[in-house]
Amino acid sequence: MTAQGSSQAGNNLDPWYHHYAERAAGLRASEVRALFAVASRPEVVSLAGGMPFVAALPPDLVVNAMERVMREQGPVALQYGSGQGVPALREQILDVMALEGIRAHADDVVVTTGSQHALELVSKLFLDPGDVVISEGPSYVTAMVIFKSYQAEVDHVPMDEHGLIPEALREHIAQLRATGKTIKFLYTIPNFHNPAGVTLSWERRIEILEICRANNILVLEDNPYGLLYFDRPAPAAMRSLEQDGVVYLGTFSKTLAPGFRVGWALAPHAIREKLVLANEAAVLSPSSFSQLVISEYLATANWKAQINTFRGVYHERKNALLNALDEYLPELTWTNPNGGFYVWVTLPPLLNSKAMLPRAVKELVAYTPGTAFFANGDGQQNIRLSFCYPTPAEIRVGVRRLATVVRDELDLLETFAGTGSLDPVRTPGRFNPLPTDIS
């Protein structure tokens, strides 16, 4: 079949170009995704992706759970299930969330195909074209891809080393309302932020919830990394303080393995009912097999000890990254996360993280340019470094290579523009770590 008529005839690459719905325009390969192809070459040290180090999970733990599931519940595991998720797993998810101060009812938990799918479902329920989602600046790339695919606008509120700045949130809400915009929700990653690495303080959690309550704005709390803390746990979840105004998202991707594709949403009653319907419409039911294996794993393995193992691995890798930055790139500034996978680095003035990337890949190191994490083109002076996947030794090599790239770029600038200052700039209104947060 070909498209009819010249006005609808597509383009050279895609004959259906003019047939797509408007919302499909927002679906472009993210910079992170495009990078995966390059960064997966074995000679490249990738500090770019956010892949959990699943090799730290003993395979037997999963194999045993799978075997038992298939022997004891095979026909159920291989069958369609409930659109809300397996009841036993929803009960166990309550135990997981209790570790972050959340008390809830299993009726209000909806199991999804990763928390990514929960983001999609919430967006589907709430976003009309032209609506605004407020998020931290920077924010999680693939959440923004979803928001844009529903033709919503993303408004970034700045952060500092204590997370989202409440005063700035107030100002943004007032400005958006003054221009007649409809704000649908605040999307926030309070713990070990992706990509900024910072954690929202307890006081600010309270204040931000108050602001949202006063302005009738729903909070979408995305918490994939909360249990992966290093020295001390993060403050309790925002959902522990407020039930009616928060949709909370969790996942087994980082504390177990992303291959299962099991996450969940905990939502106020009415929203939960709609989420179940949307989940059924999208996937009929999340994978019965994955859910039962995870349920068996939680019931029989020491899952808390396994999370401790992951925490130890990531802590060691974070230290390796920060030590290498101290040694090879002391002129830069960076955040010092107390958990999670990411460090946010600020480059010297005039360096452009996106323009520098091809040179970095040529030097066999990959990172994610800061521009990927802003909907508005900001972030040129930032890069996100992930320490989750490469070994400490590889991280060291990667940072040494990155230092070569940064120095070469600065030399070029000095040669052609007569400027080579290594003093980091602090741009007002943009996320820049304050001195206390810099190693």
Ligand X SMILES: Cc1ncc(COP(=O)(O)O)c(C=O)c1O
Does residue number 195 form part of the binding site for ligand X (CB under 6 A)? no
Q: Tell me the C-alpha to C-alpha distance, in Å, between residue 401 and each of 291, 335, 362, 397, 415.
A: 42, 20, 10, 6, 21
**Looking at beta carbons only, is 297 or 328 nearer to ligand X?**
297
The reply to whether 222 sits near ligand X by the rule CB under 6 A is: yes
Binding pattern for the stretch 165-194 against ligand X, x by CB under 6 A and - elsewhere: ------------------------x----x
Of residues 276 through 335, those in contact with ligand X by CB under 6 A are none
- CA 162/CA 50 separation, integer angstroms: 22
Q: Which stretch binds ligand X (CB under 6 A): 30-38, 103-111, 251-259, 414-422?
A: 251-259
What is the smallest separation between the CB atom of 428 and ligand X, expressed in angstroms? Answer: 26
Tell me if residue 244 falls in helix, strand or coil: coil
Number of helical (H) and strand (E) elements in the chain, helices listed first: 12, 14
Identify whether the C-beta of residue 265 lies closer than 8 Å to the C-beta of residue 121.
yes
Can residue 207 be called a binding residue for ligand X (CB under 6 A)?
no
Residue 263 Cβ vs ligand X, minimum distance, rounded to whole Å: 4
Size of the site for ligand X (CB under 6 A): 13
Q: How far apart are CA 382 and CA 138, in angstroms?
A: 10
Closest CB 194 distance from ligand X, rounded Å: 4
Q: CB nearest ligand X: which residue?
A: 114
Shortest Å distance, C-beta 5 to ligand X: 41
Helix (H) or strand (E) holding 400, with range, is helix 392-417
Q: Does 153 bind ligand X (CB under 6 A)?
A: no
Complex with ligand X: residue 73 or 290, whichever CB lies closer: 290
Name the token pair of 91: 């009960």
110 binds ligand X (CB under 6 A): no
Please give the structure tokens belonging to residue 385: 């470094």
Judged by CB under 6 A, does residue 337 bind ligand X? no
**Which residue of 84, 251, 295, 338 would you call a contact of ligand X, by CB under 6 A?**
251
Q: CA 93 → CA 63, 96, 239, 265, 376, distances in Å? A: 21, 5, 14, 10, 36
Number of Cα atoms under 13 Å in the Cβ half of residue 104: 35
Per CB under 6 A, residues contacting ligand X are 50, 114-116, 140, 189, 194, 222, 224, 251, 253, 258, 263
